[in-house]
Chain A
Amino acid sequence: MKRIGQIFLWCSIALLALWQIPSLLNLLTLKSISTPFTLYSCTVHDFTALDRGDGTAFKFIDTKGNVHGEEAQPLFYASVLASKGSLPDSLEGRKISLEEIERNQVIASVRPKDVNKTKAPVYLLMESVPLRLELQDPEDALVSRKNGIAVYNMEGNSLLTDKTAALAAALDSLDFAYPAKLFSGNPSHHKAYDEGYLVTDSQDRVFQIKQVDGKIRLRHFPKADGLGVKFIQITEFENRATLGMMVDGENRLYMLTPDGEVMPTGVTYTPEKEDLLVVGDLFYYTVKTSDSDGEHFFALKSKDFSLVATYDRPYPKDWSFPGIYFTSSLDNWVKLRWRGI
């Protein structure tokens, strides 16, 4: 027992050293990477990076090193340009207005930590067409179970048998394969409208569940069948151009439109490992994916999400001390992991 005790104690000390010493060294040698805000320009037709310079005026530098003024991003800085009276009347061969520009400005971001976590199988369900026009806090919730999806009233924690039965009948009529795998929704009243949840079943088929006038509405997107959707994100952009974003098993990003079309984008994105930032305007969407190796930019046409241009900005080689780590910036789990050189 004495020998076992000694071995246990010194092995534990070795593990502790392999954990704490690299963490401490990484903390001491950590250098932050700062990269300029970059968007695709509808006037320069290239990616332009913001250079704050001396702080007196915004400068934008394109990928060829040319320097531009605010006119390189007339849509992102539309309100500033409008206040100066220098907002162009037309762009890309069509007339534009400030209201139209603002309505079409969209932004979305997803981090690996949002994806890599154990989520509660409970999803708050809003009324999508509220009586008082403004969205209200949700009163009901969907509870995903092995053999079905139950609808509960949260106030009294009571099963809503009618809604549950109606949802089950609708799901069965569309051959929904239980259990549901992915749910994506945003049950917040701080948005213009509600589209409920995008859901995938156990065969990775895509559905939408929303509550309209107190009744559960279900919709299937057959064009997404067979893609093997492994990630889904509801968008609810103000311009209603998209319903959601999806990633298939090959890490290809698609846009799902409100009329059920699945639009390939040419963007590759690994939700488990990469950050995603989407900034869109009237003419182009700039999609940025980033991981420890660098940033990858994709410009898509807003009209059909076709790929227009790409640009890569590599980071300096990420060097961290090898050792044991229990947490990661990529997920929310505590577990033993080894990071080598």
Chain B
Amino acid sequence: MNKMILYKEWLKTRWTVLGAAVVFAAVSFYCLLNLMKIVEIRSGAILWEAMVEKDAILLNVFRFLPALAGLLLALSQFVPEVLHKRFKLTLHLPYPQNRMVLIMLGYGLVLLTVLFAVQAGVSALVLRGPLVKELVWRIIVSLLPWYLAGWAAYIFTSALCLEPAWKKRVPILLVAAGLLYLMFISDTPEAYSLFLPWLLGYTLLSIVLVFYAVIRFKEGAQD
């Protein structure tokens, strides 16, 4: 049954996943190529200086990409369910409801994590050429809030899609906007180092909103 659920999720989201993978690859390739050209034409010292003296993260182009990927993945996964009333059918399958929702969310979160991990890993490998490991680590740590924003965008969009009534969608939307704003409030390197565990905890806890929306959906809540 688990495999069937995962296959269903793949069928719904494959074009979005492939599209996101292509966009991530293209943006990463462009950004890293650009940096390598700077190293080739000028000097690797330019990158060191930008990072140390100007607090540059070098990969700022990635900033909103994870959040966009999370948003689109959740839309592609849950909008068809809601629009075509498939989700009602899904909830009536002989399978524990909470486990089913967890697998659906797990599918999205794992896919996003793989996407983010590959991007961060490839970037780290490429940047390790001209930069010392301490600077590469600083870049990767500075990317983490943006990747977390990808998870948050995915979880909150899922909750918004599944929530049947606007009177609850509006507060969820407000919380999502506040959380995402907080995740982009500073672009200083390692600004979130102390706060990241709390942000991660809150983001993971926000999964309860999806379960809450599913219960309300099943109860047939309306405005």
Contact = CB atoms under 8 A, between A and B. Distances in A.
B53 interface: yes
Given A1-B211, A6-B212, A156-B44, A124 B52 contact: yes
Contacts of A327: 185-186
Interface of A: 1-2, 4-6, 8-10, 12-13, 16, 19-20, 117-118, 120-124, 137-139, 141, 143, 145, 152, 154-157, 187-188, 326-327, 332-336
A118 B190 contact: yes
Contact of B215 (A1, A13, A154, A335): A1
Instruction: Give the dominant DSSP class at B's interface.
Output: helix
B51 A333 contact: no
A156 B131 CA distance: 9
B189 A118 contact: yes
B83 interface: no
Given A8-B206, A117-B188, A138-B45, A16 B193 contact: no
A234 to B, nearest CB: 14
Given A8-B208, A335-B194, A143 B48 contact: no
A323 to B, nearest CB: 13
Looking at A123, A155, A188, which has the most chain B CB atoms within 10 Å of its CB? A155
A214 B120 CA distance: 37
B4 interface: no
Interface of B: 43-45, 48-49, 51-53, 98, 129-132, 134-135, 138, 168, 171-172, 174-175, 178, 182, 185-186, 188-195, 198, 205-206, 208-209, 211-213, 215-216
Contact of B188 (A16, A145, A332): A332
A120 B54 CA distance: 11
Nearest to A122: B52
Contact of A334 (B49, B135, B182, B212): B182
Contacts of B172: 9
Contact of B134 (A121, A137, A155, A336): A121
A9 B171 contact: yes
A5 B48 CA distance: 47
Given A16-B175, A335-B194, A187 B53 contact: yes
A334 B48 CA distance: 24
Contacts of A4: 208, 212
B174 A16 contact: yes
Contacts of A138: 45, 49
Contacts of A137: 45, 49
Contacts of B168: 9
Nearest to A141: B48
B44 A157 contact: yes
Contacts of A12: 171, 175, 178, 206
Given A124-B52, A124-B53, 17 more contacts: A1-B208, A2-B216, A9-B209, A12-B206, A13-B171, A118-B190, A120-B52, A122-B52, A123-B52, A124-B45, A138-B45, A154-B43, A154-B44, A188-B53, A326-B185, A333-B191, A334-B185
